[in-house]
Amino acid sequence: MAVLKLPIACILGCCLLAGFSCRSSHNNSSSSIAAKDEYSDAFDSALLDESFLALTENTELGHKLNTESEWLALRLKISSAEIRVQKCKEAELKLKLEMAKYDSLNDEISSSGGFITDRQREIWNARLDIARKDTNIANAKVSLLKRDLDDLNAKLKDKGWEIPSFTIQREITKPSFE
């Protein structure tokens, strides 16, 4: 009985192998027929309207993709400028926090005259003014870029495009100390 199982398994394996090999050659022949139809002789006046329509659609797609690329590039510039604003504001707030800490320490030891001189206060306040100006300049750049985006969005809406809106939660909730 074991002798019969081995030839039957071999025959069954050969049949499966032959079945799969025939199947894959069938798929290759059908794909080559489709390729021949797609790349047939273009000297056919019946294809004139179809070819013109395909060219027009392809050109329109190219214009849409270029416009989308322009919009995305401008949006990227705005995001980068907003990151710059956030970093400038963070530096300004860190400086204010540091100044407040030193002022608090200065108040604690004020009986001996404190350790912050008037000249040091002027220097720290000048640094804070520079940080504020950096934040204002960064905000101005964002405003200019947003104006350009608004102009582009208006032009796209006139063409019937739908403009995606990107909003990020910018409100900072202040903790309550109750």
Which range has the worst mean pLDDT, 14-23, 44-53, 77-86?
14-23
Q: Which two tokens stand for residue 147?
A: 């104006």
CA–CA gap between residue 81 and residue 142 (Å, rounded):
6
Backbone angles phi, psi at 80, to 5 degrees: -65, -40
Looking at per-residue confidence, does 143 or 164 come out higher? 143
Which range has the worst mean pLDDT, 21-30, 74-83, 150-159?
21-30
Which tens digit of pLDDT belongs to each residue from 128-148? 999 999 999 999 999 999 999
Is the pLDDT reported for residue 85 higher than 90? Answer: yes
Confidence of residue 33 (pLDDT cuts 50, 70, 90): very low
pTM: predicted TM-score of the whole model, two decimal places: 0.65
Confidence of residue 40 (pLDDT cuts 50, 70, 90): low
Is the pLDDT reported for residue 159 higher than 60? Answer: yes
- CA separation, residue 42 to residues 46, 48, 52, 96 (Å): 10, 9, 12, 73
